[in-house]
A and B are shown apart, each in its own frame.
Chain A
Amino acid sequence: MANLIIRNLQKGFDGHQIIKGIDLDVRDREFVVFVGPSGCGKSTLLRLIAGLEEVTAGTIELDGRDITQVTPAKRDLAMVFQTYALYPHMTVGKNLSFALDLAGVAKDEVKRKVDEAARILELGPLLERKPKQLSGGQRQRVAIGRAIVRNPKIFLFDEPLSNLDAALRVQTRLELSRLHKELQATMIYVTHDQVEAMTLADKVVVLNGGKVEQVGSPLELYHHPANLFVAGFLGTPKMGFLKGKVSRVETGGCEITLDAGTTISLPFTNAQQRLGDSVTLGIRPEHLELAKPGDCQLQVIADVSERLGSDTFCHVKTRSGEALTLRIRGDMASQYGETLDLHLDSHHCHLFDAQGLVITKALQAAA
């Protein structure tokens, strides 16, 4: 069992607030990913959970036990660091067994656990080597193995893939995902890479400026971002944003006049929306399409396009200068400077108010 409950957690350095009151529940066997831009406090939050930083205010509870003031050693957590942090003077085998040796575990038990971890991570032939004789990927596996042998309540990962090259990163990501299922472990993972967040997580925690912006499953966050920040942060290429004003409100929808010059009807209702309110319309690249004749909602000028083979991403600009990206078939491309007619899939548009908070859709709100 491993249920982690964080309440009103705060951390300040020299009067500067880094973590500004975080509430979070991590359930048993969950894979939770903290994601956010650099400096958002995600690593600090992980270090607070690990006990490597002192908490300024708030509580951390693990399985009903308050561990806020407990030393790292007694929290029953294991951590994998970005730099791996292997003990350079010990062999791989010793690196794996160090924690068990310290705990005074019997020799044959230590050997059994080390062998088991080595089997899972295919480290068997490397047990006698020193860390400096290993490649980056192997070091990473040793770091993970060091966590596995301890059989901790929660595994903590601090950007564990960022020192690996692109190919290895994808492979290790898959291995981690498999490991999570095999070990049925609870894992908390910090990354700035939203692809890692989307692919690994059961639950994504988006952090920004020391606060939680939104918590939810990857697809929930992707399809229903709670605010402009989450909408813009998740998804590659990014969601495009168009500024505008509410020009008509009626039952079952409203009409937005975009700064880009066109008027669009959207199935959004919200009692608080009033005529003339400033709003931001968000639309993902896959929900923009080249308009059929007579169906044009927005005219844009093509910027560069990126051809990936399967898809082509066209970067375009509206007349008001707002950047959008649209996804089209891989065998098509736009010419630089060309004028394109676009159609917006109004059912997949997101609408945010002047504060950047999402305006819920009529259907969604009713449901």
Chain B
Amino acid sequence: MMTLKQSRRLQSVLLGSLSWLIAALIFFPIFWMVLTSFKTELDAFATPPQLFFTPTLENYLHIQERSDYFHFAWNSILISFSATILCLLIAVPAAYSMAFFETKRTKRTLLWMLSTKMLPPVGVLMPIYLLAKTFGLLDSRIALIAIYTLINLPIVVWMIYTYFKDIPPEILEASRLDGATTRQEIFRVLMPICKGGLASTALLSLILCWNEAFWSLNLTSSNAAPLTALIASYSSPEGLFWAKLSAVSTLACAPILIFGWISQKQLVRGLSFGAVK
């Protein structure tokens, strides 16, 4: 007979192994991508796949030679951060009004906003392409910033709304009695209280913008192209170069991955803010 202590221990070992297995499964493609980026094209194609090989940096050098990596990276940074800031500027007042001045239509408005995320983007490709063309915004950062802001707005409003909903309205009423204007109420009371939630929302928006490929591929070519477009440019009609594709993908993922790693604690705390309070 197992004692209670032993059975608990066994349970935790089993659960631990299971989580490690799932984590390994999720991580494996990224690991393989990074590994392949250090192989020669020949090693990359080898069957069976090689785990041990002589690493080389030639793919990375080739990429910097053929295309200016920092140009694309700068575009990604500029577009993602601008879209995120713009998105927050619109979402915070919207969520404030929905959370603290709820009307009969608030819930429906939120649902409607979220439902726009269910629309397949390709469904509106034509009109948006034509709009961008008419306004001379093809291959411009402004077009991507505007589109990213708008496509992330529903989810950002929704997230901030749930964080705001967790704040007892009396705290804001107290600040109103203390003489705070609406602006002071938002900036000096509401936002500092929700800074964890706001940070994780901003982080999520950044990641979504960084990884977006559909619109960047369709609306940009070189001038405003972000890293996702750079990756796509390496799947050429002359054939697939696995090693180079892996190298460029690693380069594209690296910044946001490192950024996410650093702010991991903030992200987890923000995402579980409402759940564990």
Contact = CB atoms under 8 A, between A and B. Distances in A.
A102 interface: yes
Contact of A85 (B168, B180, B181): B168
A88 B170 CA distance: 12
A102 B179 contact: yes
B168 A146 contact: no
B178 A98 contact: yes
B194 to A, nearest CB: 9
A188 to B, nearest CB: 13
A81 B179 contact: no
A85 B173 CA distance: 8
Interface in B191-207: 192-193, 195
A50 B177 contact: yes
A83 B177 CA distance: 15
B130 interface: no
A294 B82 CA distance: 95
Contacts of B180: 73, 102
Given A85-B168, A87-B171, A88-B193, A103 B179 contact: yes
A98 B171 CA distance: 12
A85 B178 CA distance: 12
A37 interface: no
A81 B170 contact: yes
Contacts of B75: none
B210 to A, nearest CB: 30
A72 interface: yes
Interface string B175-189: 111111100100001
Interface in A163-182: none
B179 to A, nearest CB: 4
A78 interface: yes
**Majority SS at the chain B contact face:** helix
A302 interface: no
A107 interface: no
A73 B170 contact: no
B175 to A, nearest CB: 7
B174 interface: yes
Nearest to B176: A72
B173 A52 contact: yes
Interface residues of A, number: 23
A71 B179 CA distance: 9
Contacts of B171: 85-88
Given A85-B168, A85-B170, A85-B171, A72 B177 contact: yes
B192 A83 contact: no
Given A83-B168, A85-B170, A85-B173, A102 B178 contact: yes
Interface string B141-176: 000000000000000000000000000101101111
Contacts of B192: 89
B95 to A, nearest CB: 18
B33 to A, nearest CB: 42
A70 B193 CA distance: 28
Contacts of B193: 87-89
A52 B176 contact: yes
Given A87-B193, A89-B192, A89-B193, A146 B173 contact: no
Contacts of B176: 52, 71-73
A50 B178 CA distance: 11
B173 A98 contact: no
Interface string A89-103: 100000000110011
A85 B179 contact: no
Nearest to B195: A89
Identify the 9 closest CB pairs spanning chains A and B, nearest first: A99-B178, A85-B170, A73-B179, A85-B174, A89-B192, A81-B170, A102-B179, A72-B176, A72-B177
Given A81-B174, A87-B193, 18 more contacts: A52-B173, A72-B173, A73-B179, A77-B177, A78-B177, A79-B173, A81-B173, A83-B168, A83-B170, A85-B170, A85-B174, A86-B171, A87-B171, A87-B175, A88-B193, A98-B178, A102-B184, A146-B174
Interface of B: 168, 170-171, 173-181, 184, 189, 192-193, 195
Interface of A: 50-52, 71-73, 77-79, 81-83, 85-89, 98-99, 102-103, 146, 150
17 contacts: A50-B177, A52-B173, A52-B177, A71-B176, A72-B177, A73-B176, A73-B178, A73-B180, A77-B177, A78-B177, A81-B170, A86-B171, A86-B174, A87-B175, A98-B178, A99-B179, A146-B178
